[in-house]
């Protein structure tokens, strides 16, 4: 699985004019599932997201996690994280997990983050044309890959 994690002061997702998820201080997580991903990949990413020390402590150093600051997490499904644009100009998405399995992993990520103690977990809408609005704080953006490819 892959994730783009952004520290935000606020973020929201809108689908057809209605807000499906919104948070204040916390993390916006763009989450994609790839072929062969499963429970171990999900557990790895959930653990990383909840423990990433990217919030400032009293000295201004990135030393605190989303749990430490009682922050929120907004998770948005994004199969395009598996886009391969190495050849030609149109990305291929052949390594993205098929939609039924990807949706299951996405929904499990929401449950797992809540179970891990995240104060507020919000979500986009799987498979929808979403509009994501955010204020990146820092800016701080981290790339995660359960297979540790980057």
DSSP category for residue 115: H
For 11, counting Cβ atoms within 10 Å of its Cβ (0-12 exposed, 13-18 middle, 19+ buried), the class is buried
Q: What distance in Å separates the CA atoms of residue 114 and residue 81, rounded to the nearest whole number?
A: 24
Catalytic-labelled residue, pool 20, 79, 93, 135 = 79
Kindly write down the DSSP assignment for every residue of 25-93, as one continuous string: SEEEEEEE-BTT--HHHHHHHHHHHHH---EE-TTS-EEE-TTTTT-EEEEEE-GGGG-B-SSSSS-B-
> Is 80 an annotated catalytic residue?
yes
Catalytic-labelled residue, pool 6, 14, 78, 94 = 78
> Is 78 an annotated catalytic residue?
yes
Catalytic-labelled residue, pool 80, 87, 94, 135 = 80
> Is 108 an annotated catalytic residue?
no
Active site residues: 78-80
């Amino acid at each position: 699985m892959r994730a783009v994690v952004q520290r935000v002061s606020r973020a929201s997702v809108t689908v057809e004019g209605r807000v499906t998820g919104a948070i204040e201080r916390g993390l916006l997580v763009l989450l994609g599932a790839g072929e062969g991903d499963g429970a171990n990949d999900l557990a790895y990413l959930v653990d990383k997201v909840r423990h990433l020390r990217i919030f400032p402590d009293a000295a201004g150093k990135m030393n605190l996690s989303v749990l430490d600051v009682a922050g929120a997490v907004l998770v948005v499904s994004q199969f395009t994280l598996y886009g391969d644009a190495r050849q030609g100009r149109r990305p291929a998405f052949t390594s993205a997990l098929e939609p039924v399995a990807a949706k299951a992993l996405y929904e499990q990520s929401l449950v797992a983050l809540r179970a891990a103690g995240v104060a507020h977990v919000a979500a986009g809408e799987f498979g929808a044309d979403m509009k994501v609005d955010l204020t990146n704080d820092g800016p701080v953006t981290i790339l995660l890959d359960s297979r540790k490819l980057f």
